[in-house]
Amino acid sequence: METLEERLKRDAAAVRAEISPELEERIRASLENAHSAEPASPARARPGWFWLMSSLTGAAAALVIIAVLNGQEPERPPSVADVEPLLRMPALDVRPAMLGPLEEELDNLKKDFEKAERVVREDVDSLLGETER
């Protein structure tokens, strides 16, 4: 008994598919006029040494640039003293006004200390005198 596969093959072969001479001629003419759609090659093949030399040239150029930059005197930023002030302030002597009260306070504290020391010394002397008696 014929299998499905055999029948598929047999029936496909029954399809008449002769290529007419007109179609032959059309195809031949089309092929003659057809051009390969191959994209243009991006670049001509270069020898291996080309890339080596190219790399060495690039590295040498980079070294030269680095050397030149390092050889230049570095530009220093201007110091504060060199900068001309935009607005010159008038000279104000604020020292006496600010330190005067503090110095006065310090003198008073010193006097208090001397006074307290004198009192303590007198107390000590009196205690020692009573003991000796």
Q: Which residues bind other proteins (CB under 8 A)?
A: 1-5, 7-9, 11-12, 14-20, 23, 26-28, 30-32, 34-38
Residue 31 or 43 having the CB closest to other proteins: 31
Task: Identify which of residues 22 and 93 has a Cβ nearer to other proteins in the complex.
Answer: 22
- DSSP string of the chain, one letter each residue: ---HHHHHHHHHHTS--PPPHHHHHHHHHHHHH----PPPPSS----HHHHHHHHHHHHHHHHHHHHHHHHSPPPPPPPGGGSPPSSPPPP---HHHHHHHHHHHHHHHHHHHHHHHHHHHHHHHHHHHHHH-
**Number of CB atoms found within 10 A of residue 12's CB:** 9
- Could you tell me the smallest distance in angstroms from the CB atom of residue 65 to other proteins? 44
Q: At its nearest, how many Å lie between other proteins and the CB of residue 54? A: 29
Nearer to other proteins, 37 or 86 (CB): 37
Q: Which is nearer to other proteins, 5 or 82 (CB)?
A: 5
Least Cβ distance, residue 7 to other proteins (angstroms):
5
Shortest Å distance, C-beta 43 to other proteins: 17
